[in-house]
Amino acid sequence: MSTETMPLAKAITAGLRAALDADDTVLLMGEDIGRLGGVFRVTDGLQKDFGEHRVVDTPLAESGIVGTAIGLAMRGYRPVCEIQFDGFVFPAYDQITTQLAKLHNRSGGRIQVPVVIRIPYGGGIGAVEHHSESPEALFAHTAGLRVVSPATPQDAYDMMRAAIASPDPVIFLEPKGRYWSKGEVDLEAPVPTIAADAGTPDPLGTARVARAGTDVTLVAYGPTVATALSAAEALAEEGTSAEVVDLRSVSPLDVPTVADSVRRTGRCVVVHEAPSFLGAGAELAARLAEECFYHLEAPVLRVGGFHAPYPVAKLEHEYLPSVDRVLDAVDRAMSH
């Protein structure tokens, strides 16, 4: 059977395996991704099956990893870099934002750099400092990068294959707190494409309605989609019908799908782990105010992390968006 039940982490593994098997120009690079299989064992078994020249254990040097990947991409390869934890990406930030994001434009479209940067991100695992960051807004603010995050095993599988096939550089944010959430994955699903005439939705730029509703729209991505769905279940018990939209992509933003939902419900709450201040939710709220002004019954509200450094593990439950915080925001929206 082509459909299997597996955790989100293993769906990413399956996506990497499928890409390695289908295209000899695909290679993986990162710290401890070979013999160890990565901190979260996402690349487990891949070096054994594809060799050390395609699943490469690198030095502890994020800037060097990404810089090397850029050079490889310019020579026709499709490198997939693993950043061990979200907070470790910043030594490579210069390479990503001033080189990787800009080479296509700088060369007048002559050079493509199909590099995927895999980043386990977000909290909920009781980790120490620099291991629970949500840096998506920093990359989304930089033109030239796709910034995406799957919320389900099927999307993790489809989006990884689509990211590797994409001609654009992709920041692939993996919700580590949801790595072991299981779901069905169709391993024979065709590789999604970003071509406009492909006839299939592009998961790297198209949101999906995860739950239909009529009274309020809850928008989330990555780790908070499950939170929004749990909030929608609780609201249903109280007689409120919540529609849940999974953005999947932070850049580009699929505003039309969200706006269509908001025009029907009249209310919107955006949920993400990153700080609300200047986060993806702020941009989305502004765009919805522009496009849905006469349909909104209440301001677009945001539930996110606080404008403060990520706290120590024993306090992270106070920082992360919870079902109760989402319900409180919905109550405020419904009171208008």
Residues designated catalytic: 131
- Single-letter code of the amino acid located at 218: L
The closest alpha carbon to 317, from 227, 217, 220, belongs to 227
DSSP run (H or E) holding 242:
strand 242-246
Cα torsion for 116, 121, 127, 131, to the nearest 10°?
A: 60
d(C-alpha 83, C-alpha 85), whole Å: 6
Which string of DSSP letters, residue by residue, matches 13-73? HHHHHHHHHH-TTEEEEETT-SSS--TT-TTTTHHHHH-TTTEEE--S-HHHHHHHHHHHH
d(C-alpha 47, C-alpha 24), whole Å: 14
* Sequence-distant (≥ 6) Cβ neighbours of residue 275 within 8 angstroms: 134, 304, 305, 306, 307, 308
* Sequence-distant (≥ 6) Cβ neighbours of residue 319 within 8 angstroms: 123, 305, 306, 308, 310, 311
| Residue 78 per-residue DSSP state | E
- The C-alpha R_g of the chain, in whole angstroms, comes to 19
The closest alpha carbon to 34, from 42, 23, 24, 25, belongs to 42
Q: Do 157 and 11 contact (CB within 8 A), yes or no?
A: yes
End-to-end alpha-carbon separation of the chain, Å? 51
277: burial class by Cβ within 10 Å (0-12, 13-18, 19+)? middle
